[in-house]
Structure 1
Amino acid sequence: MVWPSPATTGVPAGWRPKETRTTDLKITRAGAVVKDIRLVNADLIVAARNVKVQRVELQGGSIINDSTSSCGNGLVVENVTLTRAPGRLTRNEDLPAIQAGGYTARRVKIDGRPEGFRVAGKSLNCGRVTIESSFARVVSPDVCGDWHGDGIQGYDGPPLVVRTVTLELVQRSSCGGTAPFFYPAGQGNTSVDVDGVLVKGGGYPFRLAMPGSVRNLRVVDRSWEYGPIDVDCSLVTAWDATVVTVGPDYQPIRTVRQLPCNTG
């Protein structure tokens, strides 16, 4: 298995936008295709169903599909890069890079943001979230406050499917986040189907307290503060996990040990 990295996700190498915007772009036509645009300090607001977003770069802005009373279900986001804005401080209240539900993300790169993928909007009839072949490196904000950053977080979350995703949490000692993967109980979440996730950093890199299956979980050795996992194992129907070392390209170098589900 080849794990996603900054070099293999986001807009393609050599990509150039056909348009650069510094104001929000709102999509209201069902089935619209948005591509080859750079947004600087501006959001992409999806207010229609079955929208496709391809080869788009957002510097500081977010992709938002819950701006109305329901989600823009059927949203597909492919080869998209979301980074911090040039010359602007990040803050703990910054929006997630992508929210809320009813979307599929493929080959997406999130790098340097305080929040990554949000899985939410179940109460707004937001549909399943699928994240595939994507990379998220979440970083402590410049202005910390009460930060609880995550690579993937469920809050009022519909069912979540994860396939071959790399998640890293980079935090300062004075500004700690939550976890690369966080799908907790008590927040209205549903279920997970995970097959292929590599996690690095945080107090516990992988935190799960809702029903589901977990296969091909790889936790980077000694990247945690408290322990490799925090899982309610009684709810997990399948489990396969190992502790690994990785190189700078996020590819595993060595399997350190098998990781049983022994928490919760």
Structure 2
Amino acid sequence: MRWVSLLAAVSVVTMTFLAGCTSSPAGGPTSTPTRSPGQPTVGAGRCPGYPTPACTGVPPGTKLTVTALNEGGAAYRVRTPGTVLDGVHIPGDLLVHADDVTIRNSRIDGIVINADGPRTFRFTITDSTVGTAKRCQTLPGIGQDKYTATRVLIRGHGDGFRAAGDDVTIRDSYVDLCSNPGDHSDGIQTYNTGKGLIFDHNTVDQRHAKDITAPIFLVDKQIVDAAVTNNLIMGGTYSIQLRNGRGKLVMRGNKLVDKSWVYGPVDSECKVIDWADNWLVTIDENYGVTSTVGPLACAG
């Protein structure tokens, strides 16, 4: 598919999704965690605690090689299965149009997307930075399905991650959200998603965005088996929104920055969620937890 056609298709899908990003009023709590808050979560790899800009993205000292754009001067398109992109700087979008692509220690200034018309392709992205601090892009930083993201830093995007199919795993990553007028910014959002979403030990900061929905916005009727665990989140209208899912839905061990929301902390379908050990906290400027305010009850 030519780049112009692809961009048009992605834009149509995105606008359709954004039109459906709405929040509903939260109700009273239906469950209360009983476990003690314990110590802050200890991260794996480069992050000693919750992910921050200092321990995610391209590792310090990495030498990057600029990769020439090969798709209409706007994107770099991968067509060969098994391609490894290591230590590259792509000054545009990255189109993953082949299976088993590996991206590591790299910087992508635009979006990373694996959709080519109706087809999508499996890939992993690790220790990489997506987006630039110079502008805010409405489109999600990374999408759509069959991908694993680890220690990724997303910046300069209205949406962080998109889950639009099966087998999305996101761990140890940091998202600093922005917004443009008319956006419905989300940290992670589902759209025509599928089975097996894992969102574990990430930091999502939505405090700098104005046109917002939620750091955790999972309301797709196609959600089956989703686990949101051990994350540090802040911002949003209602910060945690999980509705309409089926199968095993888990919301455990998360920490939400107290009073960082607009309307309320939670608007979720509590009766179908395994909800436990979630807490309201305060943090310092480096995302370290400074105090535990109290348990975060489910409401919806």
Q: Please, what TM-score do these two structures have when normalized by structure 1?
A: 0.87
- The structural deviation recorded for 1:68 is 3.5
Unpaired segments ≥5 residues, structure 2: 1-40, 42-48
Q: Does 1:253 align with 2:299?
A: no
- Tell me what 2:86 maps to: 35
- The structural deviation recorded for 1:162 is 1.3
- Tell me what 1:179 maps to: 214
Indicate if the aligned counterparts of 2:51 and 2:201 stay in contact, CA closer than 8 A.
Answer: yes
Q: Does 1:202 align with 2:250?
A: no
CA distance 1:185–1:113, change in 2 (3 Å): closer
Deviation by residue 1:107-152 (Cα, 9 ceiling, x = unmatched): 00012321110001x3xxxx310000001011122xx1x2111111
Q: Does 1:130 align with 2:169?
A: yes
- The structural deviation recorded for 1:190 is 2.8
Indicate if the aligned counterparts of 2:191 and 2:220 stay in contact, CA closer than 8 A.
Answer: no
Unpaired segments ≥5 residues, structure 1: none
State how far apart, in whole Å, the 1-side matches of 2:171 and 2:136 are: 26
- The structural deviation recorded for 1:170 is 3.0
The answer to which structure, 1 or 2, has the higher relative contact order (CA under 8 A, 6+ apart) is 2
Aligned counterpart in structure 2 of residue 62 of structure 1, from 98, 105, 111: 111
Larger radius of gyration: 2
Indicate if the aligned counterparts of 2:111 and 2:131 stay in contact, CA closer than 8 A.
Answer: no
Aligned counterpart in structure 1 of residue 65 of structure 2, from 18, 21, 42: 18
Amino acid in the other structure paired with 2:161? F
Aligned counterpart in structure 2 of residue 109 of structure 1, from 153, 162, 167: 153
- The structural deviation recorded for 1:18 is 2.1
State how far apart, in whole Å, the 2-side matches of 1:152 and 1:21 are: 30
Aligned counterpart in structure 1 of residue 191 of structure 2, from 123, 140, 155: 155
Aligned counterpart in structure 2 of residue 100 of structure 1, from 134, 137, 144: 144
Deviation by residue 1:201-238 (Cα, 9 ceiling, x = unmatched): 11111111124011111000110111111111011024
Indicate if the aligned counterparts of 2:84 and 2:103 stay in contact, CA closer than 8 A.
Answer: yes
State how far apart, in whole Å, the 2-side matches of 1:176 and 1:246 are: 23
Q: Does 1:90 align with 2:136?
A: yes
- The structural deviation recorded for 1:259 is 1.3
State how far apart, in whole Å, the 2-side matches of 1:85 and 1:225 are: 25
Indicate if the aligned counterparts of 2:169 and 2:198 stay in contact, CA closer than 8 A.
Answer: yes
Greater helix proportion: 2
State how far apart, in whole Å, the 1-side matches of 2:139 and 2:101 are: 21
Indicate if the aligned counterparts of 2:111 and 2:142 stay in contact, CA closer than 8 A.
Answer: yes
State how far apart, in whole Å, the 2-side matches of 1:184 and 1:4 are: 25
Q: Does 1:222 align with 2:222?
A: no
Indicate if the aligned counterparts of 1:214 and 1:239 stay in contact, CA closer than 8 A.
Answer: yes
Amino acid in the other structure paired with 1:129? V
- The structural deviation recorded for 1:82 is 1.4
Indicate if the aligned counterparts of 2:133 and 2:156 stay in contact, CA closer than 8 A.
Answer: no
- Tell me what 1:242 maps to: 279
State how far apart, in whole Å, the 1-side matches of 2:235 and 2:274 are: 25
SS at match of 1:234: helix
Aligned counterpart in structure 2 of residue 49 of structure 1, from 92, 99, 102: 99
Identity %: 31
- The structural deviation recorded for 1:185 is 3.9
State how far apart, in whole Å, the 2-side matches of 1:170 and 1:20 are: 33
State how far apart, in whole Å, the 1-side matches of 2:128 and 2:197 are: 20
State how far apart, in whole Å, the 1-side matches of 2:235 and 2:275 are: 24
RMSD over equivalenced CA pairs, Å: 1.7
- The structural deviation recorded for 1:176 is 2.1
- The structural deviation recorded for 1:171 is 4.6
